[in-house]
Amino acid sequence: MPRERVIFLVDVQSFFASIEKTADRSLQHKPIVVAGDPERRSGVILAACPLAKQWGIETAEALWEAQQKCPGVTVVKPHMQKYIEISVQLTAIMESFSDLVEPYSIDEQFIDLTPTLHLFGGSPYQAARLLQHKIQQEIGVYARIGIGPNKVLAKMACDNFAKKNKEGIAHISYDTLPATLWPLPVRSLFGVGSRMSRHLERMGIRTIGQLAQTPVERLRKKWGINGERLWLTANGIDESPVSPRSHDEQKAIGHHMTLPRDYETLEQIKVILLELSEEVGRRARRKGYVGDTVSVGVRGARFDLPTGFHRQTKLTEKTNDGLDVFKAAFDLFCTHWDGEPIRSAGVALSGLEPDHCRQLSLFNFETTLKKERLSKAVDHIKNKYGAAAILRAASLTAAGQARDRAQKIGGHYK
């Protein structure tokens, strides 16, 4: 029987907040939260340090709610460029332990130590402590590490145990699965949200163990392949490798924006759709993709009566040109918009394939080449002088957001 793999899921505690405390020692013993600007509708808690969490503050809640819970909380604006740089540094540290490192999110990464474990004492715990210490010494942040024979068990070891014990390290093996994971409530299973947990509880499935012992046919009949996936996860079955290239191939390239105010007129919304489409085209070109499916999603302005839609359309030819994307996106919007104000919008391009192997039409070959040359020239200017170096005139109107967003990463200032 082959030996169990040794997979770590490394998670940095309160990543954004920890980095801010490392950068400013005066914050060390204060409750702090990292949050955006409430005036621009980004006043949401992105991270809360352990001291702030003791007051009941939670990630993703509104800043004003957090300030009510803890009136003395220190609010720090996010520095996204710094967080990305630290995340890359974290990857480099992990790559000194194994070349099999797979980023899962900005603050979570998988690492497969099966081939190199003997170089770090031979024990998963020893290797985890060494990695934990190195991250603390070089970056100044505290990492929790879940250990398992596959990615899903490593993830659940981290979320359910390593984050809650003093060591910050926890191990789930196939042998210990029934004693460790199965007694937990079904909502603790990776991939089960509040809605799914309610469905399962109505079926009499209240623990992960009960889910693991439910006939897979029953789950498959009710939820199809998703039901089978739940059964596999509950039984700790996951054959997916830790792959450094797992995110190289994309299914879609999209861009979404929460607007600084409600946009009420078609002319205002048209500007936003144009900016979103241009950014989608630029990202597709940078990554070397073309696509033939454009989708648009918007959310209405009212919280008490959620409105909006998400629709897609197929193009006759694959493209990565922003204007091509915009024309399809704008037609979709005009077809499905109910005329009510919107507070957020998103545009995406899917049906992707590498741009070097597509079939060009003989009837508009010259036009396509001209658009590509123009797009490359614009990309070159933006790459050299910044995203706001060259803009469409529409972006200079009051509705435009491109200049402001050029200073941001992920919707937050760098």
Q: Domains of the chain (ranges plus CATH)?
A: 15-80 (3.40.1170.60), 182-234 (1.10.150.20), 252-413 (3.30.1490.100)
Evaluate the CA torsion angle 216, 217, 219, 223 in order and state its sign: positive
Average pLDDT, integer, range 189-209? 93
257-271, 337-351, 394-408: lowest mean pLDDT where?
A: 394-408
Q: Tell which residue, 33, 20, 81, has the closest CA to residue 59.
A: 33
Average pLDDT, integer, range 72-95? 91
Give me the pLDDT at residue 378, please.
Answer: 81
Mean pLDDT (the chain, rounded): 88
**At which residue do the structure tokens 């020239």 appear?**
377
| Contact in structure between 230 and 223 (CB atoms under 8 Å) | yes
**At which residue do the structure tokens 């909502």 appear?**
187
Show the CA angle centred on residue 107, arms to residues 102 and 109, nearest 5°. Answer: 20
Give me the pLDDT at residue 363, please.
Answer: 56
- Would you say residue 361 has pLDDT above 80? no
DSSP state, 358?
A: P
Q: Tell which residue, 188, 191, 221, has the closest CA to residue 203.
A: 221
User: Read out DSSP for 24-74?
Assistant: -GGGTTS-EEEE--GGGT--BEEEE-HHHHTTT--TTSBHHHHHHH-TTPE
Residues carrying an active site annotation:
108
Average pLDDT, integer, range 236-257? 80
Tokens representing residue 230 in the block: 């739940």
Buried b (16+ CB within 10 A) or exposed e, 348-386: bbbbbeebeebeeeeeeeeebeebeeebeebeeebeeee
User: Read out DSSP for 376-394?
Assistant: HHHHHHHHHH-TTSS--GG
Average pLDDT, integer, range 222-244? 92
Rounded to an integer, what distance in angstroms lies between the CA atom of residue 109 and that of residue 112? Answer: 10
Tokens representing residue 287 in the block: 């990554």
Average pLDDT, integer, range 174-192? 95
Give me the pLDDT at residue 347, please.
Answer: 94
What backbone torsions phi and psi does residue 30 show, to the nearest 5 degrees?
-115, 150
Best mean pLDDT range from 78-92, 178-192, 347-361: 178-192
pLDDT in tens, 135-160: 999 999 999 999 999 999 999 999 99
- Would you say residue 410 has pLDDT above 60? no
Binding residues for Mg(2+): 11, 107
Predicted confidence band of residue 408 (pLDDT cuts 50, 70, 90): low
DSSP state, 315?
A: E
Give me the pLDDT at residue 30, please.
Answer: 94
Say whether 160 sits in a helix, a strand or coil. helix
Average pLDDT, integer, range 110-137? 94
- Would you say residue 402 has pLDDT above 70? yes
| Contact in structure between 139 and 15 (CB atoms under 8 Å) | no
Binding residues: 11, 107
- Would you say residue 300 has pLDDT above 90? no
- Would you say residue 2 has pLDDT above 60? no
Half-sphere exposure of 26 (CA within 13 A, CB side): 2
Rounded to an integer, what distance in angstroms lies between the CA atom of residue 28 and that of residue 400? Answer: 39
Predicted confidence band of residue 1 (pLDDT cuts 50, 70, 90): very low
| Contact in structure between 93 and 138 (CB atoms under 8 Å) | yes
Predicted confidence band of residue 57 (pLDDT cuts 50, 70, 90): very high
Provide the CA 57 distance to its chain's centre, in angstroms: 21
pLDDT in tens, 250-272: 678 888 888 888 899 999 999 99
